[in-house]
Structure 1
């Protein structure tokens, strides 16, 4: 139930390069009698680019007498709707809401390493590793290499013979960090697109099998059965998925050893970092995943790439709990934008040639659609997740006992925001009998901002304008092959 506090006009001038439609829309908003209320709502949204529009009302009543104490209705809002933040995690869609998601993820990850949010501080003594599981190679791609502080040539091969498609697989360019060629194949026709999208689709299953193999290896190293292992220790983890520019996902994970009751109990004496690192080192290459057999698709199994990084997490030094939490939280708000693909699902019958995407992404999307049409591969839902290049897993996940949850953090924020409405009371004593019944009815009425509202929001909050007014594309994304 928002408060309609009149506010002054914007303090920052709107951008000068706007379309006539946006200028007319802004002029209409400025001249509207609802302008003070619109300003208050836009400030409250704090730069949300695609707020959800709700229509409805909230009534506060005395549960004993039924007397109406207070009533809020959206009829008093500009346009007759209440605008609320979209709360998306994708920075490409709404940087403001994604920042809230990033901050929540940071708190969730750090609590599992340093304590807080219901996790005891003693968790800092539990062995924890920062693990990176990569994807294998499906073809040579342009990459940025650094050697001795200088950028090295991409793929210098003096005597490289042409591939079957007539392309010489050599590149002597010292690519810049923003070079659009990074991650693209040296030979687009020879790149294994089938393997790329199938690996992405099977990556969540590979992770599941890795966690099972990790527990088996820990039990064997400790001389225990799996049942005995569960009685002595708990393997807790939190992970995030990250896209590389070549279009493949890999996982960053925090893996921690606890006692049988989770972070509140100390791990057994044998549960040291060296044992954990050894278990990860053996479990990663031990697991494979095989897609269903399909006509025209060669039979094959997929495994993690050869690059495996295992590092201890400490409270001091280079890889601290703060550094790890910040790194994981950053990628929790990103998807596949850096590959040059879409930020939405591909509609049936859509003309891929007309889409504003990179050629590499276009070919990978087309392969997802081709494989997704095969009945044998229907369970992988490749066509549905073509815009994600086949990956359909959650971008951030955690085990049940790792730390707090995003739901708990959001609930605490909602409770904090609700305190400003605690002045609604029945006036009845004693206070423990002063209960108020809240009845709400909401209906979805659309989403987004008009061009004028977007300009006004940018001026009020200092947040960047959406892509409607700019040609921003892409985000940070590793380019290694």
Structure 2
């Protein structure tokens, strides 16, 4: 009964907000953000002034909302959606061209590679036979796909939480060592000196981190072999898909990070490597379809990466914000398995060599960016957002009937707060986002 009362109360407050005198103005601000759940409030003004006469052609003053830009769907679905769209464009440009990247990048050796973490103990799984029939988990039970226990330790006291968190904290550095080894393997196969590799070829990549259910990250990466100048340069004649795949396998097997750590007064040496599971798939042109050998089209790949990017930033295994004390950890609404990883990261962070783990305890020790790329892979998120801002700016000027070069734009805004007033406004903002999203989906489906 209290739950019903709460829903009725929320419905009443939503109705009250809908009939408030300032509702239209508020809705306009929220729609401008795409339905952001934590908009940034800015107060000030914007002026468009004729460059020749000094006449003020347009003026906006008061309060506006700007998107929060958070990539986590659990924090803001609207901004997470926008991030996924940008990730799609960024990845696709690097494998198929577009956005100032030449289309002939699609003719170069390209692979989709998944690197995994090692095992730190038995976890609950949904194994299947060769024919896809379910088999019992090592614990003896059959699990449903939505079982929250999947991926968690079967025997928590025997699981190596310490090793898992230490590996996670060094996963980004392990990736860096992998790329170094990959260049070495390619140079050796081509019969050139490693230091001369940049004069013959360039390794371009984009990778995204995705949490597994056990709380450890996978790295999904697009790897492309370019000429020395990047996407505009032909790949070397000795570089083909087979040689790139061979080099990736060798680099994955040999890359490692070795650290001497002072832990609780004891000096320990730790070596971090990739897990045994390695998946390599060839990327083909759009006219080629996915086949039984696991080959991918670049269009499908960009969609996969965008999905991984937002999944990696909206996982339920981690809380949305940093933790500030061990006591705080006990109140987190996460599975005990992931809570233990957070607690382990916090405790390890008490050592000087691993102080960074406390800052990233809420991410189960992972401190890397979810989507990173090499310098010449494709354009950047900043460039994509710049293109969007330019388009919006030109559309506004076109509506006023003026040319971009004929006006001066003056912006003066101050931060005054963020978020919505209450849960009623948040519900309405989310409804605005959902409507916009549904409209985009419908429009896309209607396209020939």
TM-score for the superposition, normalised by structure 2: 0.88
- Please give the alpha-carbon distance, in whole angstroms, between the structure 2 residues aligned to 1:247 and 1:432: 50
- Please give the alpha-carbon distance, in whole angstroms, between the structure 1 residues aligned to 2:261 and 2:115: 26
Do structure 1's residue 72 and structure 2's residue 60 form an aligned pair? Answer: yes
Deviation at 1:93, TM superposition (A): 1.3
Deviation at 1:360, TM superposition (A): 0.6
Going from structure 1 to structure 2, the CA distance change for 1:341 and 1:132 (only over 3 Å counts) comes to: same
Deviation at 1:350, TM superposition (A): 3.6
Out of 105, 120, 130, the position equivalent to 1:123 is 105
Deviation at 1:222, TM superposition (A): 0.3
- Please give the alpha-carbon distance, in whole angstroms, between the structure 1 residues aligned to 2:45 and 2:9: 32
- Please give the alpha-carbon distance, in whole angstroms, between the structure 1 residues aligned to 2:358 and 2:351: 10
Do structure 1's residue 370 and structure 2's residue 347 form an aligned pair? Answer: yes
Bigger mean CA offset, 313-322 vs 284-293: 284-293
- Please give the alpha-carbon distance, in whole angstroms, between the structure 2 residues aligned to 1:45 and 1:412: 17
- Please give the alpha-carbon distance, in whole angstroms, between the structure 2 residues aligned to 1:382 and 1:60: 48
Deviation at 1:111, TM superposition (A): 1.2
**Residue deviations 1:235-262 (CA, integer Å, cap 9, x gap):** 1101001111111112011111111221
Bigger mean CA offset, 21-30 vs 414-423: 21-30
Match of 2:68 in 1: 86
**Residue deviations 1:113-151 (CA, integer Å, cap 9, x gap):** 111111111111101111111100001111111221211
Do structure 1's residue 326 and structure 2's residue 303 form an aligned pair? Answer: yes
Match of 1:333, SS state, is helix
More helix by share: 2
Do structure 1's residue 408 and structure 2's residue 396 form an aligned pair? Answer: no
- Please give the alpha-carbon distance, in whole angstroms, between the structure 2 residues aligned to 1:120 and 1:249: 32
**Structure 2 counterparts to residues 225-264 of structure 1, below 5 A:** 225-264=193-232
CA RMSD of aligned residues (A): 2.4
Out of 234, 246, 252, the position equivalent to 1:278 is 246
Contact 1:213 1:283 in 2 (8 A): yes
- Please give the alpha-carbon distance, in whole angstroms, between the structure 2 residues aligned to 1:437 and 1:295: 56
Do structure 1's residue 197 and structure 2's residue 161 form an aligned pair? Answer: no
Going from structure 1 to structure 2, the CA distance change for 1:122 and 1:136 (only over 3 Å counts) comes to: same
Match of 2:175 in 1: 207
Match of 1:51 in 2: 39
Contact 1:242 1:250 in 2 (8 A): yes
Match of 1:113 in 2: 95
Match of 1:60 in 2: 48
Match of 1:310 in 2: 280
In structure 1, stretches of 5+ residues that fail to align are 1-15, 75-80, 156-170, 465-481
**Residue deviations 1:195-235 (CA, integer Å, cap 9, x gap):** 11111110000000110111011111101013432112111
- Please give the alpha-carbon distance, in whole angstroms, between the structure 2 residues aligned to 1:339 and 1:56: 38
Match of 1:217 in 2: 185
Match of 2:319, SS state, is coil
Going from structure 1 to structure 2, the CA distance change for 1:351 and 1:64 (only over 3 Å counts) comes to: same
Bigger mean CA offset, 52-61 vs 18-27: 18-27
Match of 1:22 in 2: 10
- Please give the alpha-carbon distance, in whole angstroms, between the structure 1 residues aligned to 2:177 and 2:66: 40
Do structure 1's residue 96 and structure 2's residue 78 form an aligned pair? Answer: yes
Match of 2:272, SS state, is coil
Out of 145, 151, 157, the position equivalent to 2:134 is 151
Number of residue pairs the alignment of both structures matches = 423
Do structure 1's residue 440 and structure 2's residue 397 form an aligned pair? Answer: no
Deviation at 1:425, TM superposition (A): 7.6
TM-score for the superposition, normalised by structure 1: 0.82
- Please give the alpha-carbon distance, in whole angstroms, between the structure 2 residues aligned to 1:98 and 1:432: 31
Match of 2:311, SS state, is coil
Going from structure 1 to structure 2, the CA distance change for 1:423 and 1:324 (only over 3 Å counts) comes to: closer
Contact 2:135 2:142 in 1 (8 A): yes
Do structure 1's residue 398 and structure 2's residue 368 form an aligned pair? Answer: no
Out of 134, 145, 153, the position equivalent to 1:177 is 145
Going from structure 1 to structure 2, the CA distance change for 1:45 and 1:123 (only over 3 Å counts) comes to: same
Bigger mean CA offset, 348-357 vs 123-132: 348-357
- Please give the alpha-carbon distance, in whole angstroms, between the structure 1 residues aligned to 2:227 and 2:393: 37
- Please give the alpha-carbon distance, in whole angstroms, between the structure 1 residues aligned to 2:215 and 2:193: 40
Bigger mean CA offset, 445-454 vs 218-227: 445-454
Going from structure 1 to structure 2, the CA distance change for 1:292 and 1:227 (only over 3 Å counts) comes to: closer
Bigger mean CA offset, 382-391 vs 416-425: 416-425
In structure 2, stretches of 5+ residues that fail to align are 291-295, 437-448
**Structure 2 counterparts to residues 133-148 of structure 1, below 5 A:** 133-147=115-129, 148=131
